[in-house]
Amino acid sequence: MKKLQGRTALVTGASRGIGRGICEALAGEGADLVMVARGQDALQRVAGDLQAKGSRALAVVADVTVESQVCAAFAQAIQRFSRLDLLVNNAGVSDGGPLEEITVETWDKVMAANLRGPFLCTREAFRIMKPAGGGRIINIGSLAAKRVRPHTAAYSTSKHGLWGLTQVSALEGRQFGISCGCIFPGNTLVEKNKNRPEPMMTVDQLVQVVVAMASLPAHINMLEAVVLPVGQPYLGRG
């Protein structure tokens, strides 16, 4: 039997990059998918590809920063699959620049996508998972929460905040059988990193860790995992 057979996962930022890779990997292990993203065309293409391979995938167009849209997405998940076993908070943005040049609009945009979105989704997941007796939440953070780079004030701050949300979620969820962990990816070969002259890992390589975390026995939690190419500057950096 596949590792996630019979389970339902909701993944945000599901239409491209790491989010798409997560959906493909979870589907490959038998999970039913609720795929959430803002871009309808790209989202439908990914869902169609998975459905063509025999997976059950529901595409939900929603902005995770908008409370009403998040609530509606989770309601559709329950209407379609009657359960939610796994939430992967992956959606996010990485706008930045020199600290003194960052506008309030840019700051608020990053905080909304990288913190408000995971909060809203986690809150809805708790409301479903508590009565059901448990579930698992995986937050996709960033190495920027551990070691910062220049010109990443908003992004690094938001990912530090996501780590705080992870810990509170794990603490408040444990008596209800809800676990929460955070993955801190290093350099991953997505569109924005194609020209970065540093070692890279592929999305397929990274998402193996997501599958490993999602597949753990219900009473085991991987609270955090730093995943990076061996040659990437990290230890001793900053």
Quick: pLDDT tens for 139-164.
Answer: 999 999 999 889 999 999 999 999 99
Q: Specify whether the CB–CB gap between 151 and 98 falls below 8 A.
A: yes
- Residue type at 32 in one-letter notation: D
* Beta strands 57-61; 32-37: pairing state: parallel
Q: Please give the positions annotated as active site.
A: 155
| Helix, strand, coil abundance in the chain, percent, nearest 5 | 50, 15, 35
Name the 3-class secondary structure at 45: helix
CA distances from 170 to 124, 134, 137, 154, 210 (A): 15, 12, 9, 24, 17
For 8-220, CATH gives 3.40.50.720
* C-beta separation of 200 from 231 below 8 A: no
Strand order in the sheet with 135-140: 57-61, 32-37, 8-12, 86-89, 135-140, 178-185, 224-227
Q: Which two three-digit tokens encode residue 102?
A: 């960052």
User: If DSSP codes are grouped into helix, strand and coil, which group holds residue 150?
Assistant: coil
- H or E element at residue 171: helix 153-173
Q: How far apart are CA 149 and CA 212, in angstroms?
A: 28
Q: What is the pLDDT of residue 236?
A: 61
At residue 201, the 3 state secondary structure works out as strand
Taking only the tens place, the pLDDT of each residue in 11-58 is 999 999 999 999 999 999 999 999 999 999 999 999 999 999 999 999
Residue 152 burial by Cβ neighbours in a 10 Å radius (0-12, 13-18, 19+): buried
The neighbour count for residue 194, using CB atoms within 10 Å, is 8
Indicate whether 224 pLDDT > 90: yes
> Among all chains, which residue has been given the structure tokens 């459905």?
51
Whether the per-residue pLDDT at 85 is higher than 50: the answer is: yes
pTM of the model: 0.95
pLDDT one-digit tens code per residue, 105-142? 999 999 999 999 999 999 999 999 999 999 999 999 99
Is residue 183 within a helix (H) or strand (E), and if so which, with residue range? strand 178-185
Domain parsing of the chain, residue ranges: 8-220
In percent, how much of the chain has pLDDT > 90? 89
Confidence (pLDDT) at 237: 60
